[in-house]
Structure 1
């Protein structure tokens, strides 16, 4: 197994391994922006295309800045002082700026595609690892992966579907046990696995909140679409 395969395998703890990779990548990119790119003119131009970052990433970046003593809010303030001046300049000219794609959302979309593609390319090495792990691909990333495999490796797509259903059934049973433990007749509290079934169920259905999963994409007809099609 190559380094990318090992990277994917190591992400198979609990929950969706693709979501976990994306969340780690997103946090790393936010740190990079705040530590290295506040005064980078090339990155600043990318910020101007969307007047900073999208709503989700703007607030996430600010929370990150305040949570890190070595960062603080100065870098975010410098970025958004520039964006505010840009906005005011548009209004003074009697125009209104169009909001382009968020710089971070673009990076997250690229990372999401490359991660799912890498998973599909190494499915024969990773499928057994996935089956034996506590991981459950979220609905979005399972669909992306299966869409690729149905074209490139139909047999693996079928095997992955069987594994996915088995994992979801186990999750359903644990969530049911968690609910049952709230009955007044229950003699024991929920186990750790039963308690974790609730957030893991939400993750299996909705994914983790990252710029990739909250990002709204539009197809050419203006309807919501999927970027891997």
Structure 2
């Protein structure tokens, strides 16, 4: 039996963790050869919006909401002009809809005022956009421009990375920093996708399918 909230052991050496990360990526690529971002989007703005909405919400639910959202408000300027109550009503089912609507209007305002309506392609500028932290910024940078600044760390990535002994941190920014030292930048994007796929299919937080796990040999919380 594996604990769903393990206490990390002392980290192994950096070379050992790099070797393990490489093996994990190879194993998961065999299982998920077509791994990709599951948020449906047409451009950088739509992906930014979808990623903001995905906080504490499933990607499947976000994908149900965004078609109508972008039909009603197709550009950042439309988000600025829309009454916030209309945005709230459209995104209500994603949860925390008041805070998310406020963030989206703020993001649209910043992008129109300072970036001529274009989502910036640099981390330093992206994290100044309301509602955008390093996770959202790395999603956009990785998917749109293929230049993430670090590994995208969501709950799956952080939890599974701790189980595998790749990090001993819980703060997402610290997890990102540790994980990003274990692989080349070219692997940042897919590493996140692969661990998310694995977390959804096999290494579930409440009921992990350890008998079917192809990473079990590296799991440091296994019985």
Query: TM-score with structure 2 length normalisation?
Result: 0.23
**Which structure's CA Rg is the greater one?**
1
Structure with the higher fraction of residues in helix conformation: 1
The TM-score with structure 1 as length reference comes to 0.23
